[in-house]
Amino acid sequence: MGGAPPQASPYRINRRIRVPEIRVIGADGQQLGVLPTAEALSLATAAGLDLVEISPQAMPPVCRIMDFGKFKFDESKKARQARRRQTVISIKEIKLRPKTDVHDYDFKLAHVRRFLQEGDKVRVIVQFRGREIVHPQTGRTMLERVVKDTADLGQCDQMPSMEGRRMMMVVAPNAAALARAHQQAQAQARRSEPARPPEATGDLGPAATAERS
């Protein structure tokens, strides 16, 4: 039916290796020297394994006796782990005005801090209207305020710059600062946990034991 064809293996194995001689590495990693390809293939077959060309550019090519199915599984596992380790950072966007009031500023600052805590970069934009554009320092002051109010979580990744009637900068999360904030939050959570009563163990203590006796 439809769908993409299976992807060809980048390795030549067994009878697909057509050169007359190869340098062979055994299944245990030992060098077996240069052998006729047919002899190396016989050794792999006798061991119930595969002959895999691992260095085709060498003279002669280098091949290894191995379990090719297990090798492919291990390679696939490594690729999945590498993809999981990749950090995808998106850029969020927050817009301000040169005269944004305190309530609105605090509301949007909370969003900036949350984005940084989640590991995202934030593009902060100050939008000028009308004659506000003749006082660009007001926008710069607003952006500097954002940097100051997020210094415990992030750092300026792209300095403020003008684009038309907008001044913008990018704030990026600071890994060390985020780690400290996370540790502080955990410590605060532990301090706020109610004390647990001592567990009943059946041991009434010496006073209770004397009274019972």
In a domain, 148, yes or no: yes
**Mean pLDDT (whole number) for 177-185:** 72
What is the extent of the structural domain holding 38?
14-80
We report the CATH number of the domain holding residue 172 as 3.30.110.10
Give the model's pLDDT for residue 205: 52
20-77 pLDDT, tens digit per residue, is 999 999 999 999 999 999 999 999 999 999 999 999 999 999 999 999 999 999 988 9
Confidence of residue 175 (pLDDT cuts 50, 70, 90): confident
d(CA 104, CA 127): 14
Task: Find out whether 35 and 20 touch, Cβ atoms under 8 Å.
Answer: no
Q: Do 73 and 99 fall within a single domain?
A: no
Please give the distance of CA 206 from its chain centroid, rounded to a whole number.
57
Confidence of residue 84 (pLDDT cuts 50, 70, 90): confident
Structure-token pair, residue 121? 């970069």
Confidence of residue 88 (pLDDT cuts 50, 70, 90): low
d(CA 73, CA 67): 10
